Chains A and B, each alone.
Chain A
Amino acid sequence: MNSRLPTILNTTYLTSGLSRGFFEFVTRVGEARSKQEEDRYVSQEIVSLKTKLNHPDISSRKIRDYITRLIYCEMLGYNVEFGHIHAVKLAQSAKGLWDKRIGYLACSLFLHETHELSIMLINTLQKDLKSSNYLEVCAALTALCHLLNKDMIPAVFGLVEEALSHPKDIVRKKAVMVFSRLFHDAPDTMIHLDEKFRQMLTERDPSVLGSILCLFLEFIKADPNKFKDLVPSLISILEQVLDRWLPRSYDYHGVPAPWIQIKIIENMGLLARDDEKISSEVGPLIVHTLRKAENGVDAAYAIIFECIRAISRLHPQTLSTIIHKSPNLNPLNVITRFLKSNNHNLKYLGLTCLSEIDPMWWIEGEWWGEEQMNIIVDCLEERDDTLKRKTLDLLYAMVNSQNVVVVMEHMINALRTISTTDEFSRLLLVNRIVEISGKYPLNLQNKDYDKAVDSTFLIISKSIESKEKSEEIRQYAVSEAIKILESDINNTTKNLTSWALRILGEFVKSTELQEKIYNRLCDLLTQVDYEIQAQVITTLLKCVSKMKYCPDNIIECVAKCCQSSSGDVKQRSREFIILSKDFVLLDKIIKPYENFDDFTIDESLSFLDNFVENALKNGAKPYNRIPITREDTNAATEIRYEAYEKPNMTYFPKQIMTSLPTYDDSRLSESDRDVLLPNDRSNQSSRGVGPPVTPGQLAWFGVTQEHLPPENVHEHTSLLADSQEPNYNDYEEIDSNRQSVISLIPKMKLQPSTQSWSRAGYKPVNSTESDKFIKYNTSNTRSSLRSSDKVLSIASVTSKTTMTPEKEKLASALFSGVGTSDPGQ
């Protein structure tokens, strides 16, 4: 007993006015340490409530308490259906207002409009609507908002209509809300009240005004033409609000009645859509509202957003007069401020505003510029998913034939990174990608586009898990694939063809297979190169396995390929001929592709274990791993302590000009070449005489030589010069990357750390000539590798500083052609 004392005197309990039973129950559930424990408590409580409620005469105060507990159980997700009837009874039999309110609350939480029990409430509702106590009327109206159904309408309609003229504003307000609910269910019943509602627009009480604006919003959405005459009164209300005619208590953080402003502006926007006259009337006022909101404190963003939305709906004529102003007068300029903000909510607001406005207006009126573009590109890398998604939506909105490639790339990237559980957004993205690629097929020649289509098909085949959806998309893919194959093969890129073939092979159904497709595939066999030929044969094989029938002409066509000079084609075609005669075997080999899970590769080849064991038993020698050793491992550890002689060459030695070395020395290792020539592998194959070497290249070479012992340099250069014809062919194509590396080398030399590596890593020269060269060569590899590390690290630093131009490039690529008339469509 002692221990219970503080609980009873608990402050919350004392002020709650609830029974101790309720308090204890809630506390116990709140303290439950596990879901099971909570389950136990709640189930116990429900059982005891069931018996208690079925008790014949209990006071209404007790019922109220029990019903409150039931509501709590329901909120936690337990089924309390048995209690629904008791809730209705409580509402019917309630003596006091409190009981009544709990009764109605329980009814509106437990029941729904089509619930059979809600009819039982009609009598009670009628009684309460007639009540002289306005709070009872309010309670009934609140419940009506939730429970109103078709059967109730005739019973209560008249009473609610009367409530529209109730002296208390709170009753009028709620009655209006019931009508807005009614409008959804039975709009025809309230036509005669039209005049009444219009009158109420002149209502003096702001909160009733707010609710009546809500109602008109519904009306206008349904039929704007009927309410065009409302515009003058809306304008005058908005002006009054802006001039602070409303009580101060309607201010929200210093902004006068923001919700009323929002509703009026929304109404105006809907009315002004495609209507030049109204647009010209409301346009200036909306801009004025926006200006006012802009000057206000931070709570007015919702108004600004609504203004922008309304502006975007205005008639183009009015819109252009609003927008064609200098940047600081252009209302759209406010979006820039949002985009620039660090606050994510405001950034979101900015992006949403942009997506509301047709891209065609972005470029008008001097407010749109690189700054905004860059911000949007930045948003793509945002960690906040919502912003990312919004940006993708934006990209989708502004896609055109000029930027389709870049947009596509971003969408596909997003598709890859999006979490696999988010089915919905993946599906949306895939649909959009497919739609865009269908819309802009002109760019087929383009390599990037090709890549995009590739990955889309790949993702289509993998990503959609749900059965029906994937079926739909596969159907689409097959029909697209057939289209691609039927078009002129010379206009289609190889990648695309091979994907079309694969899709056809995997997903085509036997019912769709027609002579036409077969013939086309056979035609293809004669037109394409070996690689595609092989794929065509495989596709044919898959089709045949689905059809269970192989026409003779196909076998003939494939038989021709048996003489092919490509081993792969020969092999496949022979297999085809054998398999096309034996469908049982074929079925075993080609099973319908059912699950798309990636299989894992058994790298340890464990399936061969038995074989190996047997072999060992039969006296075979165990496998000896060949030790892989590096000959030059020791070379690095030996350090040359004495200083190198000063090179006796000038920076650009003359003799090198005359006999220039090439990077193409076959003795240089592959990796070495990579280091020396980043991104320039084409050198390997091309031979020929070309223009002289560029200074940049010379500089690179000269610097490399500075680190070498001079006698080696001579040998090296002469060796190189002797061994091969110099290769100048690609000197023209010096890419910027290499240039930047080269220009960095002087910086590199200044650093002491680069000095230290140049000291180490060379072996003292004491072996034979040829030996020396190899030693030198390996050590040189090492040094240049190291230097390349250095260079790369510096290059990566500089690449950061060059990020901005890159981003700008991306931004301008994204935005190219935005807003112009689009030939792609």
Chain B
Amino acid sequence: MIKSVLIFNNHGKPRITKFYQQIDIGTQQALLQEIYSLVSKRPETACNFLEGSQMLGGKDTRVIYRHYATLYFVFVVDESESELGILDLIQVFVESLDRCFENVCELDLIFHFDEVHHILSEVISGGMVLETNISEIVSAYSEANKLKKRSGAIATISGSGAGAVARDLGANFANTVTSTLQNTLQTTVSATFPTFRRNTGFNT
């Protein structure tokens, strides 16, 4: 069973946290810090698995993580899950995010965290792997999204095509008008995951 899914950036700031077991909020944060300190120390060449420490719940807890550009995707699982399977599942999740957000970056995760939660709930449900087919995940997401737009978002420019246009427009606008307000958040965080496609972690 999957115990929790954590997404945090290179500085340990949480982006998405989801716990499938009952844990109080203080422990949640401590857990996040613990995992961050463990994971961020590891070199890229080290393997993507960690075995549990006392804090994480002992011998039968494993931490499986992947590092994409600015973000760490961490799944905490118990011993019944296969580590390799989870590693691939993270990839599926990230690829789904990429399809849903079109070149996903950290900013998308910050401002659309509710949607990320919805996508996650398509992939994992109550700690069990529910869906692993990327197109199913994406279609479930866009079905719901259509209705979301209909149900009255005022400031939304609907339709993915129009959204993309708006992105370009906005970017151009920002560039031409002023660069001082291109805030630090934007510049530090908006790098898309470069080694993204076909990154299965096994390229030797």
Contact = CB atoms under 8 A, between A and B. Distances in A.
A721 to B, nearest CB: 62
Interface in B109-144: 110-114, 117-118, 121, 125-126, 128-136, 140, 143-144
A97 B140 contact: no
B183 A27 contact: yes
A9 B111 contact: no
Interface string B18-47: 101010011011001000000000100111
Given A76-B14, A210-B131, A424-B54, A105 B117 contact: yes
A289 to B, nearest CB: 14
A299 to B, nearest CB: 6
A50 interface: no
A762 B174 CA distance: 82
B16 A75 contact: yes
Given A11-B167, A15-B166, A347 B47 contact: yes
Contacts of B113: 71-72, 75
B170 interface: yes
Contacts of B85: 258-259, 262, 302, 306
A249 B135 CA distance: 7
A30 B110 contact: yes
B108 A12 contact: yes
B113 to A, nearest CB: 7
A597 B144 CA distance: 62
Given A74-B25, A181-B126, A252-B88, A345 B152 contact: no
B204 to A, nearest CB: 5
A306 B82 contact: yes
A10 interface: yes
Given A27-B185, A345-B47, A389-B51, A15 B156 contact: yes
B163 interface: yes
A570 interface: no
B138 to A, nearest CB: 10
A3 B171 contact: no
A79 B151 CA distance: 30
A105 B112 CA distance: 13
A298 interface: yes
Contacts of A258: 85, 88, 132
Contacts of A142: 121, 125
Given A211-B130, A250-B133, A422-B53, A386 B157 contact: no
Contact of A31 (B108, B149, B167, B185): B185
B202 A346 contact: yes
A3 B183 CA distance: 12
B82 A305 contact: yes
A14 B112 contact: no
A467 B154 CA distance: 61
Given A14-B170, A68-B114, A252-B132, A31 B202 contact: no
A290 interface: no
Given A16-B111, A75-B17, A352-B83, A98 B170 contact: no
Interface in A132-161: 135, 138, 142, 145-146
A554 interface: no
Contacts of A30: 110, 185, 189
A504 interface: no
A341 interface: yes
B144 A214 contact: no
Nearest to B24: A112
A262 B45 CA distance: 27
Contacts of B42: 384
B45 A16 contact: no
A352 B16 CA distance: 30
Interface in B140-169: 140, 143-144, 147-157, 163, 166-169
Contacts of B47: 344-345, 347-348, 384, 386-387
A654 B187 CA distance: 86
A5 B152 contact: no
Contacts of A345: 47-49, 84, 87, 201-202
B107 A12 contact: yes
A77 B33 CA distance: 11
Nearest to B54: A424
Interface stretch (A169-177, A227-235, A473-481, A799-807): A169-177
A346 B14 CA distance: 29
User: Which of B45, B92, B151, B182 has the most chain A CB within a 10 Å cutoff?
Assistant: B151
Contacts of A27: 183, 185
A18 interface: yes
A6 interface: yes
B195 interface: no
Interface residues on B, range: 35 or more
Contacts of B170: 9-11, 14
A23 B153 contact: no
A13 interface: yes
A343 interface: yes
Interface in A161-209: 170, 173-174, 177-178, 180-181, 206-207
Nearest to A31: B185
Contact of B111 (A3, A18, A252): A18
A550 interface: no
Task: Give the one of A15, A31, A74, A250 with max B CB within 10 A.
Answer: A15
A591 to B, nearest CB: 32
Contacts of A207: 130-131, 133, 136
A114 interface: yes
A101 B111 contact: no
Contacts of B132: 210, 250, 252, 257-259
Contact of B178 (A6, A352, A428): A6
Nearest to B158: A17
B143 A174 contact: no
Contacts of B130: 173-174, 177, 207, 210-211, 214
A206 B132 CA distance: 10
Nearest to B16: A75
Nearest to B164: A15
Interface in A239-268: 249-250, 252-253, 257-259, 262, 266
A6 B82 contact: no
Contacts of A583: none
B167 to A, nearest CB: 4
A604 B2 CA distance: 59
Given A6-B177, A180-B128, A386-B49, A301 B202 contact: yes
Nearest to B167: A11
A97 B185 contact: no
A75 B167 contact: no
Nearest to B53: A424
A122 interface: no
Contacts of B184: 31
B188 to A, nearest CB: 9
Given A15-B157, A109-B117, 14 more contacts: A9-B169, A11-B169, A15-B166, A17-B156, A26-B111, A30-B110, A97-B148, A135-B144, A145-B125, A252-B88, A252-B132, A257-B132, A302-B88, A389-B51
- State the 4 A-B residue pairs at the shortest beta-carbon distance, nearest first: A96-B151, A11-B170, A145-B126, A302-B84
19 contacts: A6-B173, A6-B177, A9-B170, A14-B155, A18-B155, A20-B155, A71-B113, A77-B25, A97-B144, A98-B151, A138-B140, A142-B121, A207-B133, A210-B130, A211-B130, A306-B85, A309-B82, A345-B201, A347-B47
Interface of A: 3, 5-7, 9-20, 23, 26-27, 30-31, 61, 68, 71-72, 74-77, 79, 95-99, 101-102, 105, 109, 112-114, 135, 138, 142, 145-146, 170, 173-174, 177-178, 180-181, 206-207, 210-211, 214, 221, 249-250, 252-253, 257-259, 262, 266, 298-299, 301-302, 305-306, 309, 341-349, 352, 383-387, 389-390, 422-425, 428
